[in-house]
Amino acid sequence: MSRSKKLKRSKKKKLISLLIILSILFLLITCLIFGFYYGLKGLRNNVSKLPSNEKDKISEDLNTNEVNTITLTAVGDIMVHMPQLTAQYDSSTNSYCFDNNFQHVKNYVKNSDFSIANLETTLAGSSIGYSSYPVFNSPDSLSTALNNCGFNILSTINNHSLDKGDLGLERTLKILKQDGFDVVGTKNSSYEKNFIIKKKHGISLGITSFSYAEIKNSIKYVNGLPASSDTSDKINVFDVHNVDNAFNSISKTLSEMNNPDIKIVILHWGNEYQRVPSSFQTSLAQKLCDVGVDIIIGSHPHVVQPVDIITSSDNKKETLVIYSLGNFLSNQRRELMGTPYTEDGLLVNINITKKSKYDTARISKVECIPTWLNKYYTDSKSVYEIIPISNKEELSNIKNLPYNKLKKSFENTTSLIKHSDLISYPKNLF
């Protein structure tokens, strides 16, 4: 046989061998694809027959490539002054109801996965009498109304937490927990954690809350009132005079959270009625940003302060800072305070997104909705209503609404929001 014929035969054998190998590989791959598809289909069918808790867990694992998003809503100070008590009282039933205060914002709050407010009063009971400034004690029905509105997390640490002493602190917690709230800032026992962890759609949130206080000789003074030895370890406070000490107090709690996806710190801080953050606020915010806090939610000034994104010192981390959400519900009116800004507030919706359980969660959207507290009179009685300044059609259907004041409130608030690709507020309303 000639050399050329041998070469041709050899090449032909190699080609046939290659075709056989490719055919076998094709069959194997086809079998694997069909096996995976029908196996996954069968697994999903079996999952549907499992108890709901097991089904949720397995379904989450099967869908790790799906993008999960949760929404966190935050609003500012909730206070009840004496004119409000009068307005909410029903003499025919000898009871108080606050539901109408929240009727226009209810849908905004209920649509969120987690909704947070600052409860700046106590629920110490009717037996010691209801009162307002300088020491607050409000009806239990305020808690009911907040629950009906859709709030599920309340911060209870602020400069009025000890207005009614140990009784006020303990009974407030009791009523709120009976109504189903998660509470941060104060606790029933020194053995409880200073934070809560909330999980939904595979995203975990670590939430803590702190208030300013004076600390002298190891005694904590809240609004000048000394915390008793029984209460001292049940309140989250920081030293108002030393930003490093304040940071250390908060940092200790953060280190105990065991790395949730998102770390959130609620702070009762700043100077009352000032629309610009103090140097203490900006310094503390920067320190918290540097240790990985994702969201800072501020209260106490009773006016709105800026909403901004700050960057860590090493340029590796960003933190959403809401320096002050302003008043959500109160009687701090223009005619009493000499300023219109105490009638303004913010409702902030924060979208948090995570692509899979192995991915890093991130803030994907921040929607700032200005609110204005409307007060008018009907049948010789005051009416308080929180107005979300968000939707032109909704606003047109609300009665007794002075558009000139509403527009001015909107302009005052949005001037403090740094609009960006991430942070937005409603446009073209007026």
pLDDT in tens, 273-298: 999 999 999 999 999 999 999 999 99
Nearest residue to 268 (alpha-carbon basis) of 423, 117, 72:
117
Give pLDDT, residue 12. Answer: 60
Give pLDDT, residue 40. Answer: 43
The Cβ of residue 25 has, within 10 Å, a number of other Cβ atoms equal to: 10
Which single residue is written with the structure tokens 């000898």?
Answer: 94
Q: Can you give the pTM of this predicted structure?
A: 0.85
The Cβ of residue 24 has, within 10 Å, a number of other Cβ atoms equal to: 10
Query: Which of 1-15, 129-143, 275-289, 337-351 has the lowest average pLDDT?
Result: 1-15
The Cβ of residue 125 has, within 10 Å, a number of other Cβ atoms equal to: 18
The string of pLDDT tens digits covering residues 44-72 is: 454 444 555 554 554 555 455 689 999 99
Tell me the mean pLDDT in the region 86-111.
97
Give pLDDT, residue 380. Answer: 85
Q: What percent of the chain has pLDDT over 90?
A: 82
Question: 340 near 310, Cβ under 8 Å?
Answer: no
Burial code of 43-81, b = ≥16 C-beta within 10 A, e = fewer?
Answer: eeeebeeeeeeeeeeeeeeeeeeeebebbbbbbbbbbbb
Give pLDDT, residue 62. Answer: 47
Cα separation of 351 and 349, whole Å? 7
The confidence band for 7, taking pLDDT boundaries of 50, 70 and 90, is very low
Nearest residue to 118 (alpha-carbon basis) of 284, 330, 375:
330
Pairing outcome for strands 203-216 and 262-268: parallel
Domain 68-424 = CATH 3.60.21.10: yes
Sequence spans of domains, the chain: 3-62, 68-424
335 pLDDT higher than 80? yes
Tell me the helix, strand and coil percentages in the chain, rounded to 5: 35, 30, 35
